[in-house]
Structure 1
Amino acid sequence: MPIVLITGSAGLIGSEAVEYFANIGYEIVGIDNNMRQYFFGTDGDTAWNSQLLTKKLKNQYTHYDIDIRDNNKIKNVFARYSDNIKLIVHTAAQPSHDWAAKEPQLDFGINANGTLNLLEAMRHYCPNSVFVFMSTNKIYGDQPNHLPLIEKETRWEIDHTHSFQNGIPEKMAIDQCLHSLFGASKLAADILVQEYGKYFNLQTTCLRGGVLTGSKQSGAQLHGFLNYLMKCIMTETPYKIFGYKGKQVRDIIHSKDVVSAIGHIFSSPRIGEVYNLGGGRQSNLSVLEAIELGQKIAQKELDFQYVDQPRRGDHIWYISDTSKLQSHYPDWKLRYTIEEILKEIYEENKERWTNV
């Protein structure tokens, strides 16, 4: 049976990809060692999702509790399935730019070296497969903060005459700016994925995501903005807004729309390609706007504190220009609105978040 290998298989995008490809008939090999719990404590624990997938998919899903930094174990998995592996969806990561400064070597080891291990395994054991890497918009560093931004009542906005008015394109410079150590390690991985495609003629793609969200995310203060915000509203947990008056803007994309894009790429792969992926002009909001909408859905007030110090290297305004992806895959479209996403997070987590 053809196999889809997914790293970070118990995480938000990974678990969504597991179900998506299982539903269309693939056998799934999942790699996830629940490092998210180490990064973020109990809020980040993904064991519940791993157990759910194992129970739900039974013989169609095989789980490996492996650290992607362990090159020998990674090679063993690839050797076992070899050319049966048709697609590799690489979502495993240390995902927080705040956390990375605590343990830079661990961050780089997972994000950069772990990615290198997977690329080498692909090259040797399944070179005809497709490799899709979940990169990040943080590879652009704080470059977007130097755009001409205008402060409005609830958000920052870009000057409507600017060429990036429809969002940040892939041509934005990545040099001479502050990335955070997380951004640097993900950029190293991003370049590796491109290089393995171009140099070895492999079918590799980087997806530079905005805010990826959905009800399956184990959101924490340092990662998973929208999911964690809704959890704080629903459980009456104090929330902190870090800088920019809460007017910083993010584009939002549902995990199902991300995985749909991966499905389109798999059906018609390219060599060493790069796409910005997010909600774009269709789906974006500021922290203040997210709080207002979340309170409306949960019918509760959020207890929040404003800290007049932004996270270092954080974006003031970031909206993805997805026109390149849409031009290459015109059948791919966003299906979820922000309100639908927040309602789903609310409805599907009421029982798990027991304080509601």
Structure 2
Amino acid sequence: MSAADDRRPILVTGGAGFIGCNLADRLAGAGHDVIVYDALSRAGVETNLDWLVRSHGDRIRPIVADIRDEARLVEAAAGAKAVFHMAAQVAVTTSLVDPREDFAINIASTLALLEALRARAPQTPLIFASTNKVYGDLADVDFVLEDQAYRPADPAIRAHGIGEARPLDFHTPYGCSKGAADQYVLDYARSFGLRTAVLRMSCIYGRRQMGTEDQGWVAHFLIRALEGKPITLYGDGHQVRDILDVADAVDAYLAAWQRIDTIAGRAFNLGGGPANAVSLRQLLGHIGALTGRAVDVDYSDWRAGDQRYFVADTRAAETALGLSGRVDWRSGVAALANWLSEARGLALPARRIEAAA
């Protein structure tokens, strides 16, 4: 039976979150029924769920429950034709405050999902949202400072970014929990033949992102700038990330599901790649151009495990998943600024946005 003929729903854990709701929207728009499993614990995500229900009606089946509610999670997974596991404790800072909760959410719930599939639905694909934090702080990589941005001294890394062959190196409880879950997902393909795969994400941004200082920093920077409030940079602001528009991230998740039989048991780095690599200071300069005023910046100490540079080598993902083209970060950030200004009722001249994009 093809996925199109299979009328079972698709489970998206964390489906009211930023990436999850964009994924659920695309799936429902393609005619699939979607179980949106979310505790609605993150401020503002209830508006994402409302938007999904308004947009797609009965195709969206909300389950408002904690990911640690194993009985409800297992029941939802057992009846699904595919599982996209996006739910997580997502902040390094929170993991340092409460490592036990971080463990319970990120590792124990992932293991419960895998065991549910192994026992009751071994043919159901599971795609796991992992993180670039599994590679640690990259302290052994030498950098040079160029144009307000750290760049690798190694020409191969500079040209392509960090590849999947990079050794794993878990830092902070968050890195440990996401990294361990990542490895469980891969091993369940190896040990039990489950159809699982992992996407190790760099920084994803885009519409419906409820950015905070701890997570979703591109939207957080824009929100603070639009409100005329200062932004705190932890470190020197020369840190570089390859930011990826959420529409491109959703393309990758859908491709992973569609090609699960050829990629099962593999992990891929997912980011904007070298063409979309930008330092925090460079991004703030672009935001200043969008808003028409310089951003007020404060500085604080480096955060634990922070990477001075992470750019994903996306060649393996592009080849295996058939991905091509990405939204340029300048136009993508401009589009997010427009969406945030409308969603929050903040004035932003359209002509300035278009010119800056």
1:10 to 6, 13, 16: 16
Superposition deviation, residue 345 in structure 1: 1.1
Kindly indicate whether residue 164 of structure 2 is the aligned counterpart of residue 170 of structure 1. yes
5+ unaligned residues in a row in structure 2: which ranges?
A: 1-6, 348-357
Q: Is the 8 A contact 1:195 1:272 kept in 2?
A: yes
Specify the alignment match of 1:137 in structure 2: 132
- SS of the aligned residue for 1:35 comes to coil
Please report the TM-score for the alignment, with normalisation by the length of structure 1. 0.92
Specify the alignment match of 2:153 in structure 1: 159
CA RMSD of aligned residues (A): 1.4
Give deviations 1:296-332, integer Å, cap 9, x for gaps: 112232111122x2111100011000111112123x1
Please report the TM-score for the alignment, with normalisation by the length of structure 2. 0.91
Specify the alignment match of 2:287 in structure 1: 294
1:118 to 113, 116, 122: 113
Specify the alignment match of 2:343 in structure 1: 352
Specify the alignment match of 2:355 in structure 1: none
1:306 to 299, 307, 319: 299
- SS of the aligned residue for 1:232 comes to helix
Q: Is the 8 A contact 2:29 2:56 kept in 1?
A: no
Give deviations 1:200-243, integer Å, cap 9, x for gaps: 11111110000011121110001111110011110112110111
Kindly indicate whether residue 262 of structure 2 is the aligned counterpart of residue 251 of structure 1. no
Specify the alignment match of 2:351 in structure 1: none
Q: Is the 8 A contact 2:83 2:125 kept in 1?
A: yes
Give deviations 1:115-165, integer Å, cap 9, x for gaps: 1111112222322121110000001111x2320100123101001534564
- AA aligned to 2:50 is Q
Q: CA–CA distance in 1 between the matches of 2:290 and 2:157?
A: 35
1:213 to 188, 192, 205: 205
5+ unaligned residues in a row in structure 1: which ranges?
A: 38-44
Specify the alignment match of 1:234 in structure 2: 226
What is the aligned residue count? 339
Superposition deviation, residue 255 in structure 1: 1.1
Q: Is the 8 A contact 2:239 2:307 kept in 1?
A: yes
Specify the alignment match of 1:20 in structure 2: 26
Q: CA–CA distance in 2 between the matches of 1:340 and 1:254?
A: 10
Specify the alignment match of 2:42 in structure 1: 36
Superposition deviation, residue 55 in structure 1: 1.7
Give deviations 1:50-75, integer Å, cap 9, x for gaps: 11111211111000011111111112
- AA aligned to 2:217 is F
Q: CA–CA distance in 2 between the matches of 1:165 and 1:353?
A: 39
Superposition deviation, residue 272 in structure 1: 1.3
- SS of the aligned residue for 1:145 comes to coil
Q: CA–CA distance in 2 between the matches of 1:86 and 1:129?
A: 6
Q: Is the 8 A contact 2:203 2:244 kept in 1?
A: yes
- AA aligned to 1:77 is A
- SS of the aligned residue for 2:213 comes to coil
- SS of the aligned residue for 1:246 comes to coil
- SS of the aligned residue for 1:206 comes to strand
- SS of the aligned residue for 2:160 comes to coil
Kindly indicate whether residue 256 of structure 2 is the aligned counterpart of residue 265 of structure 1. yes
Specify the alignment match of 1:41 in structure 2: none
- AA aligned to 2:242 is D
Kindly indicate whether residue 81 of structure 2 is the aligned counterpart of residue 86 of structure 1. yes
Q: Is the 8 A contact 1:234 1:300 kept in 2?
A: no
Q: Is the 8 A contact 2:11 2:82 kept in 1?
A: yes
Specify the alignment match of 1:99 in structure 2: 94
Q: Is the 8 A contact 2:134 2:179 kept in 1?
A: yes
Specify the alignment match of 2:52 in structure 1: 53
Sequence identity of aligned pairs in percent? 27
Q: CA–CA distance in 1 between the matches of 2:340 and 2:147?
A: 31
Q: Segments of 4+ in structure 1 off by > 4 A?
A: none
2:269 to 259, 263, 276: 276
- SS of the aligned residue for 1:146 comes to coil
Q: CA–CA distance in 1 between the matches of 2:212 and 2:105?
A: 19
Q: Is the 8 A contact 2:88 2:105 kept in 1?
A: yes
- AA aligned to 1:78 is A
Q: CA–CA distance in 2 between the matches of 1:153 and 1:55?
A: 45
Any residues of structure 2 matched to 1:173-188 within 5 Å, and which?
173-175=167-169, 179-188=171-180
